[in-house]
Copies of this chain bind each other. A is one copy, B any other.
Amino acid sequence: MATKNAFYAQSGGVTAVINASACGVIETARQYPERIGTVYAGRNGILGALNEELIDTGLEPDSAIAALRHTPAGAFGSCRYKLKGLEENRAEYERLIEVFAAHDIGYFFYNGGGDSADTCLKVSQLSETMGYPIQAIHVPKTVDNDLPHTDTCPGFGSVAKYIAVSTREAALDVASMAETSTKVFVLEAMGRHAGWIAASGGLAQAHDGDAPHIILLPEVPFDQQRFLDRVKQTVEEQGYCVIVVSEGTRLADGTFLADQGSKDAFGHVQLGGVAQVVAQTIKDNLGYKYHYAVADYLQRAARHLASATDVEQAYAVGRAAVEFALAGRNAVMASIVRKNDSPYEWEIGEAPLAEVANVEAKMPPEFISEDGMHITGACKRYLRPLIQGEDYPPYRDGLPQYVKLQNQLVEKRLPPFKAG
């Protein structure tokens, strides 16, 4: 078979382990020089293909590629750029294929969530009709854990570990101070549509009564009175109360709790402050002194606390994507298949992109406790394996040593294209 080049791009919000998938793709491709020529990476994701800004990863030494495994965020740049539907903007898809053709690219590895699975599928379909065959393989990534047909999404296990560890640590702090000071602590976790990340805070709980005492999820409408009653009861029984709240928590009418918040001096609504809204609601109604933390990017960038399982899976789906391509597969996603909970056993699977694209995996009802304010044992059994193991980056002078690639672009061969 002829040698073809490959294109790899990172899409959407980055994670602590998306570069481990890049590492898996590139290291595996380098093992098959007779089949795969150069792996080009898109500068800032799919924009790199549209703008013909292709990074020549062949210029990076093996040591730099290996270091991607322990480097968080997107080493080639990512983007929030959703290609429109094929009917609305066929020109963008055609441009992708023109760029691929101009650089003799036969393999398209797209590392992202649901949107990128959809793009990946459309590129595969269009390439057939345009007569330039592209094998499009999706490499799953999302901290939100919302892709179907996979046990989990690489990126999630590490953010879950971060939230669980942070909850456990902050809870010890609050417990120490509660007698004379802070009685309520609120930790805001990511998750606009699904509560997986906030739910993972529940793993911090080793025994009944341990923190977190309450978990607020987007799946359960916020009932202020029931919530306040529980906070009061918890403070009276335990001396303090720790709450993990998902940024996507809503009222029964669908309004985000964060949007209930405050306006600044100019009348602008302050967004992104669900922790503050929850804490202030407690203060106003129960009078307890509070502290709150907003983990924001810290949670998804925290490679220093990555789950070893997550790192391994992120690498494995990258490697599998290349192996699928070499085996002639197309329009599929490399997935994780769970064989056993404890000990955790898993293997790589293959999911057709037609079944992955635009489907959102929510938390199943049996993972949420009956009162709607915590997770169940079944949920813990599901989550626990995903945070297993530590995979520390190398340190120098007290700081993790993350690699910075050269990211040299190859010469353009096509006229410019205006994306968007």
Stretch from A112-120, A123-131, A167-175, A346-354 that touches the partner: A167-175
Does A417 belong to the interface (CB within 8 Å)? no
What chain B residues lie within 8 Å of A276 (beta carbons)? 270, 272-273, 276
B292 touches A293 (CB 8 A): no
Does A73 belong to the interface (CB within 8 Å)? yes
User: Which residues 214-271 in A have Cβ within 8 Å of B in the complex?
Assistant: 260-266, 268, 270
B392 touches A398 (CB 8 A): no
Q: CA separation between A348 and B180, bound complex, in Å?
A: 32
Residues A292 and B291 in contact in the complex (CB < 8 Å), given A80-B177, A262-B262, A384-B398: no
Q: CA separation between A389 and B301, bound complex, in Å?
A: 21
Does A47 belong to the interface (CB within 8 Å)? yes
A263 touches B266 (CB 8 A): no
What chain B residues lie within 8 Å of A170 (beta carbons)? 296-298, 301
B72 touches A398 (CB 8 A): no
Mind listing 5 A-B residue pairs with CB under 8 Å?
Answer: A75-B176, A165-B399, A166-B301, A174-B297, A390-B395
What chain B residues lie within 8 Å of A277 (beta carbons)? 264
Does A179 belong to the interface (CB within 8 Å)? yes
A177 touches B298 (CB 8 A): no
Closest to A186 in B: B296
Does A132 belong to the interface (CB within 8 Å)? no
A14 touches B179 (CB 8 A): no
Does A103 belong to the interface (CB within 8 Å)? no
Does A54 belong to the interface (CB within 8 Å)? no
Point out the residue from B165, B175, B270, B384 that lies within 8 Å of A400, measured CB to CB: B165
Q: CA separation between A16 and B174, bound complex, in Å?
A: 13
A74 touches B176 (CB 8 A): yes
Closest to A295 in B: B293
Does A318 belong to the interface (CB within 8 Å)? no
Q: Give the Cβ gap from A340 to chain B, nearest Cβ, in Å.
A: 15
Q: CA separation between A137 and B135, bound complex, in Å?
A: 71
| Contact string against B for A residues 42-68, beta-carbon threshold 8 Å, 1 for contact and 0 otherwise | 001001000000000000000000000
How many residues on A have C-beta within 8 angstroms of the other chain's C-beta atoms?
Answer: 80
What chain B residues lie within 8 Å of A291 (beta carbons)? 272, 296-297
A297 touches B74 (CB 8 A): no
Q: CA separation between A14 and B13, bound complex, in Å?
A: 34
Closest to A175 in B: B73
Does A317 belong to the interface (CB within 8 Å)? no
What chain B residues lie within 8 Å of A173 (beta carbons)? 14, 72-73, 297, 300-301
What chain B residues lie within 8 Å of A75 (beta carbons)? 176
Does A359 belong to the interface (CB within 8 Å)? no
Does A334 belong to the interface (CB within 8 Å)? no
A260 touches B265 (CB 8 A): yes
Which are the 9 A-B pairs with shortest beta-carbon distances? Answer: A74-B176, A387-B398, A73-B172, A293-B296, A169-B301, A262-B264, A262-B262, A79-B180, A173-B301
Q: Give the Cβ gap from A299 to chain B, nearest Cβ, in Å.
A: 9
Q: Give the Cβ gap from A400 to chain B, nearest Cβ, in Å.
A: 6
Residues A176 and B73 in contact in the complex (CB < 8 Å), given A295-B293, A388-B397, A388-B398: yes
Closest to A398 in B: B387
Q: CA separation between A81 and B293, bound complex, in Å?
A: 24
Q: CA separation between A14 and B180, bound complex, in Å?
A: 13
A292 touches B263 (CB 8 A): no
B72 touches A172 (CB 8 A): yes
Point out the residue from B13, B71, B169 that lies within 8 Å of A304, measured CB to CB: B169
Does A406 belong to the interface (CB within 8 Å)? no
Q: CA separation between A301 and B300, bound complex, in Å?
A: 19
Given A78-B176, A79-B180, list of 10 further CB < 8 A pairs? A44-B179, A71-B172, A72-B172, A161-B398, A165-B399, A169-B301, A204-B399, A262-B264, A270-B270, A387-B399
User: Which residues 375-398 in A have Cβ within 8 Å of B in the complex?
Assistant: 384, 387-390, 392, 395, 397-398
Residues A268 and B280 in contact in the complex (CB < 8 Å), given A10-B176, A168-B400: yes
